[in-house]
Amino acid sequence: MDKRRSDTRERIRTVAIELFAERGYETTSLREIAERLGVTKAALYYHFRTKEDIVASLIEDLRRGIDDIVQWAESAPPGQARAEQIITRYGTLLHDLGRDVIQFWAENQSALREIGVGASLRIQFRVLADLMTGPDHTPIAVFHARQALLAISWSLSMMGDLDLSDEDSYTAATRISLDIATRISPASPNAHIAR
């Protein structure tokens, strides 16, 4: 029973993101989501009462993933290996959430602010960047770390208009964004160039 409920929730989230991409978040209604799924609005309400609840569940996946990275990083010794592993884990997390979710996140910042999830994500983002810089946390090192994480986020969110329809192309583009982020990272030997 739990598996079927989980599958239904995932289908609802997938269809909602598709409709948000097609029609826009603001103009998509729960009724349209239910119609696309072929269920009643009451059946949809069983899982999600509002569109905001759907988005909050997607953001919760991101939040939990970042928490997992933070927990791992806090137990790892500071340095280049930890910074690179944070980049890899963050990129994998975003890749696994899917390009539609990441693109929604990038294109709907005002909706995310209204729902109230933006501030907590920014705090988690800053914690990740701090963990990448090691014990010194110089302003320039923190700037490099934030830019490295942003490189991954924005690279993946900007892929929406590219023809990366096959998984191999999407995975290759993700690897490229991780490579760019690693070069920007404060632990990278190339990071000193901008200092």
Q: Read out DSSP for 23-63?
A: H-TTT--HHHHHHHHTS-HHHHHHH-SSHHHHHHHHHHHHH
Judge whether residue 147 has pLDDT over 70. Answer: yes
Does 107 or 189 have the greater pLDDT score?
107
Indicate the SS3 state at residue 143: helix
Judge whether residue 194 has pLDDT over 60. Answer: no
Averaged confidence pLDDT in the chain: 83
Percentage of residues in the chain with pLDDT exceeding 90?
32
Q: Give the model confidence (pLDDT) of 29-82 as tens digits.
A: 999 999 999 988 888 999 999 998 998 888 888 889 999 999 999 999 998 899
* pLDDT of res. 60: 87
- Phi-psi category of residue 77: left, alpha or beta, with phi > 0 → left and psi -120 to 50 → alpha: beta
pTM: 0.80
> CA gyration radius for the chain?
18
Does 12 or 3 have the greater pLDDT score?
12
Indicate the SS3 state at residue 187: coil
* pLDDT of res. 195: 41
How far, in whole angstroms, is CA 153 from its chain's centroid? 7
* pLDDT of res. 109: 72
Q: Per mean pLDDT, which range of 1-5, 98-102, 123-127 is the poorest?
A: 1-5
Q: Give the model confidence (pLDDT) of 153-172 as tens digits.
A: 887 777 665 665 667 777 78
Q: Give the model confidence (pLDDT) of 8-28 as tens digits.
A: 888 999 999 889 878 888 889
* pLDDT of res. 16: 93
- Domains present along the chain, CATH in parentheses: 1-49 (1.10.10.60), 51-194 (1.10.357)
Q: How far apart are CA 184 and CA 190, in angstroms?
A: 7
